[in-house]
Structures are given as C-alpha cells and as structure tokens.
Amino acid sequence: MTTPPSADDLPDDPSPAAPRRTNRLSTATLVTGLLVLVLSAAGVTVAAVLVAHREPEPARPIDTHGKTWASELRAGDCFSALEEQATRVLVEPSPCARPHDGEVGAELTLPAADFPGDRAVAETARKECAERTRFLRQSVFGNRLELYADRPDEKAWKDGDRDVLCLLRYPGPQRLTAPLVDTKQTELVPLARIGPGDCLTKWQISGFLPLIDCRLEHRFEVYAVFTLPDGAWPGDEAVARAADEGCRSRWDALFGPAGPRLPDGRRAGRHYEAPVLDHWKKKNRQVTCLVTGTAGPLRGSVVPR
C-alpha cells in the first residue's frame, strides 16, 4: 500500500493552473447590460431599428386613353386613332361600315426560338406582314396604305407570346368607309394570258378579262386551258361537246370525280368557255376550264400549285 506524501513533501512552487475559458456571449451580454444601464441612467432611450426589405415598385400601367390593344383584334377588323407604344399598338375599334382609318390585314405567329432582339423581331414581322397583306394593295387606296406590326417584346416572347398583328392605316385625306377587300381593283388581261390558278371576277367573250388575287372574292378560277384541233369550223354542238369532254377529263384528273371542296365546305361547280365562230376564224381555238361556286362567290384558291 502506497502512503500519500505529506504536506512537507509537496513542492513549494506548484505549477500554475490552466486558464479558465471565458463565455464570450456572457461577456458580451454583461457589457451590453452595463451599457444599457449607464445610458438609461443618463436618460438616454435605447431603441432597436429594424430595416424592412422593400419590394421594388411595380411598373406603372400604360395609359391607354380608353383605347384597345391591337392584339385584341382579328384580321378583317377595322380601327381608328392608331397609336404606337414601343412594340405594341393602341387603336379604337370601329365597324368597317363606318368611317375609320385602317384595318387589320393579317395575323401570324413567329417561329419558336430564343429571343433574337427587338430589331430582328421588328424586321421579320414587317417582312411577313408585307407579304401577307400584299393582296390588299389591290385596293384603290393600296398605294397609300401604311403598314404597322404589333409584335412582342422580350418579356412577352419569353412568356410564349410570338404573335404578330399586321395593321394597314390609310392616312387620308378622306376616311375609309368599307373593308379594303371591297375597294379592290382588278387587272385587265387578254385571254391569251389566262392560265391555271388565275381568278376572275367575271367572264366576257371579247376584250380583256378582270384578273384578281384569289384571296379576294371572285367568281371563277381557271383550272385548265387547252386548244381544240385546227380545221374547219365543226359547229357549235361539236365545239361544245369537245370542250365539255376535255374539261371533264382534266377535272377528274386534278380533283377526282367529286371535284374540289371549297374553303367554306361547299362543293364547287364546273364550267367552261369555248371558242365561238368569230374566234375560230381568228385562229383562236382556246378552251378555258373554270371552277365556280354553286352558291355565291369564291374566296381562296382550290387549284393545286
């Protein structure tokens, strides 16, 4: 058994004890408490100021002055008081039968892609609008129509809106009082220039024929042209029979026996124009095969290109 050393055996200079850890939080609290006491004693009020995070103010809405965004209109709608707002357009909708300044000529959607920039969108929109509204340039007001494109900005594009509205504005001096398609002009062409896919507002035996863009209202569309054999005049009945048979065979080959279906769902009718004796004497033996409407005028082409 080991006997513990006596007090006399212990060293006179013991090793210093390890320093005691100080609780920094306790120290800070103590100092703060003392400071508050000192300031309170001096009559000073201590307050904690909390700075709240502020959300950015929303953008102010554009003042439309009671107008409508053009994007709410559709092709064929008429308007007045056009006003551009950056990439967008404001208008006052108007019935086309009342005095107005312009008309929506076309609608389109640009291809999906990364936003190419405002300038690129503007250039593409204008190019597409010019092409799609070309047929309305046949209006008697066509040479003075101004083209505007309501198009998406970067934010709208990223939200999935790539729609473009093509607007045609007539600067005057008078105002428009009818849809542009009702103010169209026709091109007069000789019979020899008529071919498949051409559309006509009417047929006339002699003189020039009124050719018109097929997207506008018309009465006939040419689906075939051929020439009867040369020789002596065979008589009205023989010419009519040869013309009918020739047009029928070309109709069946192009459309099938049922014929083409018009854009509005109606069936089309078949018609032909054959030479008369006076034409035959002048070496004109052309037969023109025509599509016609069975209940009203046509609009749009049915002949394959």
Pairing mode of beta strands 187-189, 209-212: antiparallel
Q: Examine the domain organization and report whether 161 and 105 are in the same domain.
A: yes
Phi and psi of 181, rounded to 5°? -65, -20
What does the pLDDT read at residue 128?
A: 96
What does the pLDDT read at residue 58?
A: 42
Q: Examine the domain organization and report whether 226 and 257 are in the same domain.
A: yes
Percentage, residues of the chain above pLDDT 90: 55
How many domains, the chain?
A: 2
What does the pLDDT read at residue 73?
A: 96
pLDDT digits (tens, 9 = 90+) for 213-236: 888 888 999 999 999 999 999 999
* Cα 175 to Cα 274: distance, rounded to the nearest angstrom: 44
Last residue of a domain, one of 182, 211, 230: 182
User: Is the full-model pTM beyond 0.85?
Assistant: no
> Which parts of the chain register pLDDT below 50?
1-63
In a domain, 42, yes or no: no
What does the pLDDT read at residue 297?
A: 86
What does the pLDDT read at residue 77?
A: 96
What does the pLDDT read at residue 64?
A: 54
Last residue of a domain, one of 182, 201, 236: 182
- Sheet containing 268-273: give its strands across: 187-189, 209-212, 199-200, 220-227, 286-293, 268-273
What does the pLDDT read at residue 236?
A: 96
pLDDT digits (tens, 9 = 90+) for 145-182: 999 999 999 999 999 999 999 999 999 888 999 999 88
**Mean of all residue pLDDT scores within the chain:** 81
The domain containing residue 282 runs over which residues? Answer: 185-299
Last residue of a domain, one of 149, 182, 215: 182
What does the pLDDT read at residue 66?
A: 74
In a domain, 7, yes or no: no
Q: Examine the domain organization and report whether 163 and 192 are in the same domain.
A: no
In a domain, 60, yes or no: no
